[in-house]
Amino acid sequence: MLLWGVIGAGTIGREWMVPAINAQPDSMVAAVASSNLERGRLYAKELGIPRAHSSVADLLADPTINAVYISTTNEWHEPQALAAIAAGKHVLCEKPLALSLDSARTMVAAAAAAGVVLGTNHHLRNAATHRKMRELIQSGATGRPLAARVFHAVYLPSHLQGWRIDRPDAGGGVTLDITVHDADTLRFVLDDEITEVTAMTASQGMGRAGLEDAVMGVMRFGSGTIAQFHDAFTSPHAYTGFEVHGTDGSLYGRDVMTQRPVGTVTIRHGDTEEEVSVGHENLYERSVRCFNAAIRGEGDPAASGADGVRSLAVALAVRESAQTGRTVPVAGD
Ligand code: NDP
């Protein structure tokens, strides 16, 4: 049995990740560390976690813990991941991996040097819809991808309207929150690298302290494909979607930029449309299943640390483009 420690008693762990770890036949959450012991204890009780610690060091000192899941706000990811790696734990870290590329690269290098697995919790590449679109493109069903469009404008629910909208120091803002997911999903589905971006951001009433709550832009890929994206915290009525338009066919993913195992994929050739069969499964359970296998030396995490570096590089380039009004090249590994 792989024993996991959860760092940070937050929403994503409660809603998705603790249940996903406990849903595996070969893993369970054995401990949580929270900056607030009382809150950590309540969290542990609610989710059936045996132990609560008031410090990350105490959790990491437990030799029975094999892996940690880091779900704190973004400024903590780097120091907590480096401490966990130094303690010999495998690390599945929430996105964005860090606030700077140097930090993210340091995390990847530290994990490699220590021989532990580092993954980034980009859930969307675990979605059956996105996996199906990648498979269709690779099988030649669309021909050469010319363009993609990502519709990821949502309304941030009131219980999440905290650090994301008013704490730049915690990595708030829609770009680090949502655009990183677009970048990772586009890289995964198109199997291509983003080389440059151009973008504009807006503050439409939710973002404070100078934080953007909406962003639109264009990404260019190594192969020449171009992709449009729209991310927002401020759109209560919009569908999400992901489209790929190729030389021989178009793919329409509807309701697919979401945490839930839902959505449809339609393929269109000329005027003929066909809904493609998709076998939905819980995205976070698949993420943990792949990570547990990677710990055992069987394959890689669904999204690696290097994937987290790449998606962060795109998000930082999007921000820079919005600030400077220029097209910005995307840094590599
Ligand atoms: P939350 O605001 O719910 O929690 C973040 C951290 O804040 C917690 O880990 C906790 O740390 C602390 N905290 C929790 N409740 C309180 C409170 N009442 N008062 C003060 N501090 C509190 O954020 P999320 O869980 O939504 O996001 C955490 C991370 O996960 C982020 O990096 C985010 O980007 C990522 N995320 C990823 C998603 C995905 O699908 N991959 C989806 C959603 C988020 P502590 O217990 O140590 O104080």
**pLDDT tens by residue, 49-106:** 999 999 999 999 999 999 999 999 999 999 999 999 999 999 999 999 999 999 999 9
The Å distance, Cα 322 to ligand 1 centre, comes to: 27
289: left (phi over 0), alpha (psi -120 to 50) or beta: alpha
* Residue whose CB lies within 8 A of the most ligand 1 atoms, among 21, 32, 72, for a mutation test: 72
The whole-number pLDDT of residue 38 equals 98
List, for residues 5-34, the tens digit of each pLDDT value: 999 999 999 999 999 999 999 999 999 999
Q: Is 11 touching ligand 1 by the criterion CB < 6 Å?
A: yes
pLDDT at 284 over 80: yes
The Å distance, Cα 94 to ligand 1 centre, comes to: 9
pLDDT band at residue 150, thresholds of 50, 70 and 90? very high
pLDDT at 333 over 80: no
Q: Which atom of ligand 1 is nearest to the CA of 121?
A: 41
CA dihedral sign, ordered 58, 60, 61, 64? positive
Q: Is 184 touching ligand 1 by the criterion CB < 6 Å?
A: no
Q: Is 240 touching ligand 1 by the criterion CB < 6 Å?
A: no
Query: What pTM does this model have?
Result: 0.98
Q: Which atom of ligand 1 is nearest to the CA of 124?
A: 40
pLDDT at 232 over 90: yes
Q: How far is CA 138 from the centre of its chain?
A: 23
Amino acid found at 150: V
Instruction: Give φ, ψ of 2 to 5 degrees.
Output: -85, 130
Q: Is 175 touching ligand 1 by the criterion CB < 6 Å?
A: no
68 contacts 91 by C-beta, under 8 angstroms: yes
299: left (phi over 0), alpha (psi -120 to 50) or beta: left
List, for residues 235-278, the tens digit of each pLDDT value: 999 999 999 999 999 999 999 999 999 999 999 999 999 999 99
pLDDT band at residue 332, thresholds of 50, 70 and 90? confident
The whole-number pLDDT of residue 331 equals 87
Angle at alpha carbon of residue 222, lines to 227 and 218, rounded to 5°: 25
How do beta strands 27-33 and 51-53 pair?
A: parallel
pLDDT band at residue 201, thresholds of 50, 70 and 90? very high
The whole-number pLDDT of residue 312 equals 98
The Å distance, Cα 64 to ligand 1 centre, comes to: 25
Q: Is 44 touching ligand 1 by the criterion CB < 6 Å?
A: no
User: How confident is the model over 34-44, as a mean pLDDT?
Assistant: 98
* Residue whose CB lies within 8 A of the most ligand 1 atoms, among 56, 68, 73, for a mutation test: 73
Q: Is 74 touching ligand 1 by the criterion CB < 6 Å?
A: yes
Q: At what angle do helices 77-86 and 101-114 cross, to 10 degrees?
A: 10
The Å distance, Cα 264 to ligand 1 centre, comes to: 29
DSSP state letters, 105-173: HHHHHHHHHHT--EEE--GGGG-HHHHHHHHHHHTTTT-SEEEEEEEEE-B--GGG-SHHHH-GGGT-S
Q: How far is CA 328 from the centre of its chain?
A: 22
Instruction: Give φ, ψ of 72 to 5 degrees.
Output: -80, 175
* Residue whose CB lies within 8 A of the most ligand 1 atoms, among 6, 12, 41, 165, for a mutation test: 12
Q: Across the strands, what pairs with 228?
A: 149, 218
83 contacts 108 by C-beta, under 8 angstroms: no
The Å distance, Cα 71 to ligand 1 centre, comes to: 6
Q: Is 203 touching ligand 1 by the criterion CB < 6 Å?
A: no
Q: What is the CA radius of gyration of the chain?
A: 19
